[in-house]
Amino acid sequence: MELCVVAAFQQLLEDEEACIQAVHRLMPVITRSLSQSALEDLINPMIELIQCETSVKLLDRRFLMHVSICYGTHTFLDLFLPPIVEASASMNCDRSVVAKESIMWLAKRYGPVICAKFISSNLLRIMASCYEGFELVGFDQEPKSVFGVILQGDETCSRIESLLSEIVLTYSVTFITVQFLPFCVDLIEQFHKRPSVQLEPGLVSVFRIVELSIRSMSDHQLMNYLEEFIIQKVIYRVLTILLDVSFQFSSVRVRNIVICKVCQLLHSITQKIGTENSRIYASQPFKLIFSTFSEIYETNEELRINVRRRSPENTLFEVPLWMVEDVVDKFAKEWGVPFLSSFCDDPAFLIPFISNTVSSSPNITSQMAHSPPSSFTAYSLGSMSSGNRLFSLSASSPVSSANSLGGLSLCDSGSLSAVWCARVSAAVCGVDNYRFDHLSLCNFTGHQERIRKLAAISNENSFVSASSDKTVKLWSIKPEQDEIGCQWTYPNHTRSVHDVTILADNSIASTDGVLHVWDPFRTTLLAQLEWDSKEGNGGNIMRIENVDRHILSAICSLHSTVKLFDSRVGGWTCELKVSPGPGLTRAITVRDNGNKMAVALSNGTLAILDARNGKINALAQTNSTHTVSVNWLSDSRLLVCDADECGVFLETNPRAHIVRKLQDPVSAAVLTDNSLVTLQTGSMLRVYRNSGELQIETKIRPDELPGTPTAVLPLPLNCSYLIGSSHGAIRLMC
């Protein structure tokens, strides 16, 4: 039946007229019943549809939310997010706007660390695609004015720029200092090492990123990064490339456009920081520009400008005369000739260029020449008439009292603490995930007794906790808050909660001896089931484990069988006999969508079976009679944790034998894609690679977490750990 549904749906995807409407309407319906393997068969056709220029509906956040829940956050970020980011750079305005809104929603939904690793990093890369072809607005495709060059990609790029601005506004200016500016520097260095046509549009996008950055940073931050990063590593570095013909560009036209754009950026910076700060911190690019101009052109006795004769070894690019005239004219009008001449080795070179400027604006030179020195004090912008300014903090500055608060910028609204900013920085810099610095990111308060289990939604921004205080609580991680209360408490448990897990559709299953399946977002109970033993002694359901998207396995304290619950049916579907001998089930783990299930019994038996048909593949005898948990580490290796004995790595193929014995009993263990996280005796947190190599060994101190650690949950996308204690405390730590 499933194969028929998938085949019919794939036929709809091939229909050019109906495919988008079919996916938008039917996808949320059919995924409720399809298995994981069937859903994976639909990934590539869906991605192709999202990439289609007419698929605006598939970029809507309501549809994307369902896709992210259906496939999980890892798959969504790796496969679905890139085409969504590409859509934000589409020339189709409707498609670009919808993608922009959805990306910002995703950035807020996933939090700052995931945003930095997957969203903002992709946005920075995609900006270059806006300028492929270097097409100018209008019919004339040759630049005529340095400060009037407008590219067709500017409007599309402005939407991506507003996305990056909103991310900085939402979280922190740390995104600029640890990601945006280093990205610009890296791209320029790549072009310097190996110029290529593919990297040329990236140079223009770099200028937009830098312009965004200087608008977003505070006065102090801008001055810290101005000279070393923005001036030297970006503007000056790009100018040395542009003015040297040994660096090849695809055409002279492209080189001229990039020169125009870097001059526009340089002008914006001078407008922002003021005249005197430009002289102090931005003199290098101006000296390079004017020294290049004077080497290319010379003036005869009649004040006529001619191209200077140069040696064949000279590699200077011959900047067009109209560019020289535009640059000199622009800055001479704003600064005056005396100030501009301070950047020239031969000030007389400026005379032919400024003669028209002086005759048309006679007051400019005299005003600048006779202006008092105080008008050029650092951070003073009284002489400037436009731009997003750095407000003066000096007592002698002529700024009004309304501006006395200092530079107002996006970062002033940033909500991240220093610890969260450090996590963003570590994520961007690619710091090894195998680290634990004993830093607390958030404190979750609400439980009164021991935390038994923690489970997170795949997007890692929400999680649930099961406690001995008879409650299961739903929490949201909010980076802007240090102490967080629960979002909702499930009210129907009457005894201590033993276990909790999250199903593929984000419904929650928990057990206090009775299985409860409930939807936290609609606050509705979906199913409530007891064991219902034929012998009349049901016993308590102690452990539950996901088998696949729809099926949940459960074990009981008084039986040696495993029951399967199907969320599509809303009840038990079958009961699997685990062992022909005596022994009660104690722990369970599942791998590969039910292909392999391991069940530990009270008599030391470890049964390995196929949950799809109940076939027992192997029985092994161990010394663990009080097993608290078992975890698959690989296809043939298990971690068996006993309440009284040290944890052991058990190899099951060809026959069961102990590979390694841990030094302490394990109270909690969780496996991620590439690591095993354990809590062991003495409040020890130990993290192992899948190979068994110990990566982290540290003790959780009482001042970090009240009580003894009892539950742990790694959040690999956020490079952090949720840890619960015997006192009911929960901390998000890194």
Tens of pLDDT along 614-651?
Answer: 888 888 888 788 888 999 888 888 889 988 888 888 88
In the structure encoding, which two tokens stand for residue 278, read together? 């430009």
Would you state the pLDDT for residue 643? 86
In whole angstroms, give the CA distance from residue 348 to residue 629.
Answer: 84
**Mean confidence (pLDDT) of the chain:** 84
Q: With H, G, I as helix, E, B as strand and everything else as coil, classify residue 631.
A: strand
Report in angstroms the alpha-carbon separations of 583 from 401, 500, 559, 605, 606.
81, 24, 8, 8, 10
Token pair 């305005």: residue: 93
Sheet arrangement for strand 627-632 = 627-632, 637-642, 648-651, 657-661
Q: Please indicate, yes or no, if residue 275 is contained in any of the structural domains.
A: no
Q: Please indicate, yes or no, if residue 24 is contained in any of the structural domains.
A: yes
- Give yes or no for residue 309 having a pLDDT over 50: yes
Q: Is the peptide bond before 654 cis (omega within 30 degrees of 0)?
A: yes
Tell me what the mean pLDDT of segment 216-245 comes to.
92
Tell me what the mean pLDDT of segment 164-181 comes to.
93
In whole angstroms, give the CA distance from residue 303 to residue 350.
Answer: 10
Beta carbons of 597 and 590 less than 8 angstroms apart: yes
Bridge partners of residue 528, in order along the sequence: 516
Q: Please indicate, yes or no, if residue 672 is contained in any of the structural domains.
A: no
- Give yes or no for residue 467 having a pLDDT over 90: yes
In the structure encoding, which two tokens stand for residue 383, read together? 């002489």
Q: Please indicate, yes or no, if residue 570 is contained in any of the structural domains.
A: no
Q: Please indicate, yes or no, if residue 308 is contained in any of the structural domains.
A: no
Would you state the pLDDT for residue 17? 75
Q: Please indicate, yes or no, if residue 104 is contained in any of the structural domains.
A: yes
In whole angstroms, give the CA distance from residue 460 to residue 468.
Answer: 24
CB proximity list for 38: less than 8 A, separation 6 or greater: 2, 3, 5, 6
Q: Please indicate, yes or no, if residue 28 is contained in any of the structural domains.
A: yes
Inter-residue long-range contacts of 689-696, CB under 8 Å, 24+ positions, other chains counted: 689/434, 690/633, 690/634, 692/633, 692/649, 692/659, 692/660, 695/434, 696/434, 696/435, 696/436
Q: How confident is the model at residue 236 (pLDDT cuts 50, 70, 90)?
A: very high
Q: Please indicate, yes or no, if residue 411 is contained in any of the structural domains.
A: no
In whole angstroms, give the CA distance from residue 555 to residue 43.
Answer: 34
In whole angstroms, give the CA distance from residue 7 to residue 48.
Answer: 17
Of 40-54, 379-393, 409-423, the least confident: 379-393
In whole angstroms, give the CA distance from residue 713 to residue 505.
Answer: 20
Report in angstroms the alpha-carbon separations of 114 from 111, 117, 363, 654.
6, 5, 55, 41
Range of the domain at 84: 1-110
**Count of domains observed in the chain:** 1
CB proximity list for 591: less than 8 A, separation 6 or greater: 597, 598, 632, 635
- Give yes or no for residue 387 having a pLDDT over 60: no
Q: With H, G, I as helix, E, B as strand and everything else as coil, classify residue 391.
A: coil
Strands 488-490 and 616-621: unpaired
Of 55-64, 226-235, 367-376, the least confident: 367-376
In whole angstroms, give the CA distance from residue 438 to residue 709.
Answer: 14
φ/ψ of 280, rounded to 5, equals -80, -45
Q: CB neighbours (10 Å) of residue 417?
A: 16
Would you state the pLDDT for residue 673? 78
Which one has a higher pLDDT value, 692 or 718? 718
In whole angstroms, give the CA distance from residue 332 to residue 254.
Answer: 26
Of 345-354, 410-419, 542-551, the least confident: 410-419
In whole angstroms, give the CA distance from residue 69 to residue 27.
Answer: 12
Report in angstroms the alpha-carbon separations of 363 from 83, 352, 356, 371, 515.
55, 18, 13, 12, 86
Q: Taking the model in full, what pTM does it have?
A: 0.85
